[in-house]
A and B are shown apart, each in its own frame.
Chain A
């Protein structure tokens, strides 16, 4: 047969050993094992954070549903929360803070649990990238804009002094493990 190199058959390979698993093999296996353990531990943390975020998302969905319900009622003039109701006598003094305080007392929201620790869900102004912010629920208030024939809505953190005398777009978000907001829903309140 003509001399050609065999595919992947390296002449300098170690000769076959009578003990196929030498010290190097054990070190290799131990390294693989430890790496997989390390990945599993890190993955467990990531998975736990993802699960917490899912819980927070479910809570945020409940909040969004309740806000949408209150919003629909107040527009129809049937709201059971006076601080939120769109009425002539409320004109000019209807603000987000007192209304939100009352909404939080509604049973569906009051019974929600915090994704991170025992207690109610954490409502915050924004996602700031800190550990405490993971799973935080934020409610941003939208401001419509018109420019050069285009329209849109800009969202910013809602303030308790913000007026809600007219229909107000709200965006409900939760903070993920990187402190980024994850949009849950946008509603008209």
Chain B
């Protein structure tokens, strides 16, 4: 419950000292302590730009790609340098407003000597130096790698936060916090997820491009290197998950728990993402394992771990598994029956096309699915009649499981949203939602794609319902009503509602009682008249 204000109602709080323009710009752009400012988006943008720079630096080593696009690479490099220079200058100019340097005698000098500022300077200096000094291109490229150091500006604070959150926890709990979402993970856990997602995308893109002859011819070695790095990343992640999964109560037994986790779909996907590399590298002398290469595409499934929508759909499918199974069973029956009928009608006329029932079943699937390749088509009148019926039937047949799936998804979403509503109601037991609870709700809201405004609306609704319930259920709570104006109003409203109810059920009896002398006070009569008139007006009696 909100604390009573200590400031007298009619006394305005003292105006804070006016902030300088520099301070306001710092707060808006760079202050990590100000909520909803541009600090986080700017840092994310810089981090992305650094990664793109590293990517560009690597690609520049491929002459076939670099030479025709030399101007584009130079343009990108120049734009990056402009952005990094602007960042450096802005930080340098605004550093006196930064807590760490605010009290210093020469804040800008202190800032310029700080490790982050030195890193920032090192990342842009080679570009400007090359304008004055004839640097070897290879040296320049190596120096440009210094830009990578800028990532420490994001990583070091995240690591400090992680250490703080995990103070006194075990090594295994540290590992668990890195790879699984938890309140102990902080930014590091998000970076870990992003890192894995990045490698999944790189790896899948490599698999796709490897099949393009011209690209693979140029980048065969690069693809081999990328695949090895991706396998190293995914193997480490897999081992980290297997090692730390016992922190989850579901898998708490050291051996059986880990075995249980290893059998989950997520862990199996992780395993399948790396195992082709080992099998292919170790056993290709003995077996032809080229087909395993396509299994690398399974790495794409790793992304499902990071998508809450997938879980939502999967939960919906599991809940409706029986109905979906039944619809597929009906579909199977229709396919086989139509295939058999097709065989019966067409075999005599086209023995080479409708040669057996399995071949006819293929035709049945293609026709019912509205695909119609045309490689097998009926020629007899009965066969054509059947095909026409099947074409119409196919629409309904596909629509049934589609409808069930859509309904299952919608229901699941509704249930999850209702669960959030219940959770809010449970949290409102103490009339207050604290920061932890709010963070929990926000995580749920993100998962279900509920906006902040919608969540705030849900919380407000829960608050109102709670107050109404309280007002109706509880007796007059004068001490509470004295403190909380909203509660007092709800109690007043509750009493008025009760009065309306009483008048509704016993209007005439009350009129007769009120008519007697000395029974009701003038105020009671007045209120009764008012309520009764209102009720009569609304019912038209």
Whether A associates with B in a native complex is yes
Residues of A within 8 A of B (CB): 1-4, 6-14, 16-17, 20-22, 24-25, 28, 31-32, 35-36, 38-40, 42-43, 45-47, 49-51, 53-54, 57, 129, 131, 176-178, 180, 182-184
Contact B171 A22 (CB under 8 A): yes
Task: Name 24 A/B residue pairs within 8 A (Cβ), A-sorted.
Answer: A1-B437, A2-B428, A4-B440, A7-B183, A7-B443, A9-B182, A10-B249, A13-B173, A14-B173, A16-B168, A16-B170, A16-B173, A21-B171, A24-B254, A28-B172, A35-B235, A35-B236, A40-B228, A43-B225, A45-B281, A46-B227, A47-B224, A49-B224, A131-B285
Chain B CB within 10 A, most for which of A2, A6, A51: A2
Contact B436 A6 (CB under 8 A): yes
Nearest residue, chain A, Cβ from B278: A42
Chain B interface residue number, banded: 35 or more
A-facing mask of B216-230, CB < 8 A → 1, else 0?
110011001101100
Known: A7-B443, A182-B217. A42 touches B437 (CB 8 A): no
Contact B440 A14 (CB under 8 A): no
Contact B434 A28 (CB under 8 A): no
Contact B184 A8 (CB under 8 A): yes
Q: Which residues on B sit within 8 Å (CB–CB) of A17?
A: 170
Contact B170 A47 (CB under 8 A): no
Q: Which residues on A sit within 8 Å (CB–CB) of B277?
A: 39, 42
Nearest residue, chain A, Cβ from B431: A2
Contact A183 B213 (CB under 8 A): yes
- Give the complex CA separation of A168 and B52 in angstroms: 47
Q: Which residues on A sit within 8 Å (CB–CB) of B169?
A: 16, 20
B252 touches A (CB below 8 Å): yes
B3 touches A (CB below 8 Å): no
Q: Chain B at the A interface: mostly helix, strand, loop or mixed?
A: helix
Known: A2-B428, A2-B429, A46-B224. A8 touches B182 (CB 8 A): yes
Contact A32 B437 (CB under 8 A): no
A-B contact count (CB 8 A): 132
Q: Which residues on B sit within 8 Å (CB–CB) of A40?
A: 228, 232
B217 to chain A, nearest CB (A): 7
Contact B225 A47 (CB under 8 A): yes
Contact B281 A50 (CB under 8 A): no
> Of B168, B248, B282, B429, which one neighbours A10 at CB under 8 angstroms?
B248
B288 touches A (CB below 8 Å): yes
Q: Which residues on B sit within 8 Å (CB–CB) of A12?
A: 249, 252
- Give the complex CA separation of A129 and B284 in angstroms: 10
Q: Which residues on A sit within 8 Å (CB–CB) of B173?
A: 13-14, 16
B175 touches A (CB below 8 Å): yes
- Give the complex CA separation of A49 and B278 in angstroms: 16
- Give the complex CA separation of A24 and B243 in angstroms: 8
- Give the complex CA separation of A50 and B217 in angstroms: 11
Closest 7 CB pairs of A and B: A8-B182, A43-B228, A42-B281, A12-B249, A2-B429, A28-B243, A25-B171
Known: A7-B439, A57-B217, A178-B284. A36 touches B170 (CB 8 A): no
Interface residues of B in 161-184 (CB under 8 A from A): 168-176, 180-184
Chain A CB within 10 A, most for which of B183, B221, B426: B221
B428 to chain A, nearest CB (A): 7
- Give the complex CA separation of A14 and B216 in angstroms: 49
A106 to chain B, nearest CB (A): 24
Contact A2 B170 (CB under 8 A): no
- Give the complex CA separation of A83 and B175 in angstroms: 71
Q: Which residues on A sit within 8 Å (CB–CB) of B171?
A: 20-22, 25
- Give the complex CA separation of A112 and B168 in angstroms: 64
Nearest residue, chain B, Cβ from A129: B288
B247 touches A (CB below 8 Å): yes
Contact A2 B437 (CB under 8 A): yes
Contact B439 A36 (CB under 8 A): no
- Give the complex CA separation of A182 and B212 in angstroms: 12
B92 to chain A, nearest CB (A): 39
Contact A8 B180 (CB under 8 A): yes
Q: Which residues on A sit within 8 Å (CB–CB) of B443?
A: 7
> Of B228, B282, B288, B423, which one neighbours A4 at CB under 8 angstroms?
B423
- Give the complex CA separation of A182 and B86 in angstroms: 48
Known: A7-B181, A45-B281, A131-B285. A2 touches B430 (CB 8 A): yes
Q: Which residues on A sit within 8 Å (CB–CB) of B436?
A: 1, 6
Contact B434 A1 (CB under 8 A): yes
Q: Which residues on A sit within 8 Å (CB–CB) of B236?
A: 32, 35-36
Nearest residue, chain A, Cβ from B440: A7
Q: Which residues on A sit within 8 Å (CB–CB) of B426?
A: 2-4
A188 to chain B, nearest CB (A): 20
> Of B168, B224, B235, which one neighbours A50 at CB under 8 angstroms?
B224
Q: Which residues on B sit within 8 Å (CB–CB) of A21?
A: 171
A-facing mask of B168-203, CB < 8 A → 1, else 0?
111111111000111111000000000000000000
Q: Which residues on B sit within 8 Å (CB–CB) of A2?
A: 426-430, 437
> Of A8, A14, A20, A31, which one neighbours B183 at CB under 8 angstroms?
A8
B382 touches A (CB below 8 Å): no
Contact B278 A20 (CB under 8 A): no
Nearest residue, chain A, Cβ from B289: A178
Nearest residue, chain B, Cβ from A36: B232
- Give the complex CA separation of A178 and B290 in angstroms: 7
Known: A10-B249, A47-B225. A4 touches B239 (CB 8 A): no
B226 to chain A, nearest CB (A): 11
A-facing mask of B239-252, CB < 8 A → 1, else 0?
11001000111001
Contact A50 B220 (CB under 8 A): yes
Contact B228 A25 (CB under 8 A): no
A71 to chain B, nearest CB (A): 22
Q: Which residues on B sit within 8 Å (CB–CB) of A45?
A: 281
- Give the complex CA separation of A176 and B235 in angstroms: 26
Q: Which residues on B sit within 8 Å (CB–CB) of A4?
A: 423, 426-427, 437, 440
Contact B249 A31 (CB under 8 A): no
B273 touches A (CB below 8 Å): no
Contact A20 B434 (CB under 8 A): no
B95 touches A (CB below 8 Å): no
Nearest residue, chain A, Cβ from B222: A50
B231 touches A (CB below 8 Å): yes
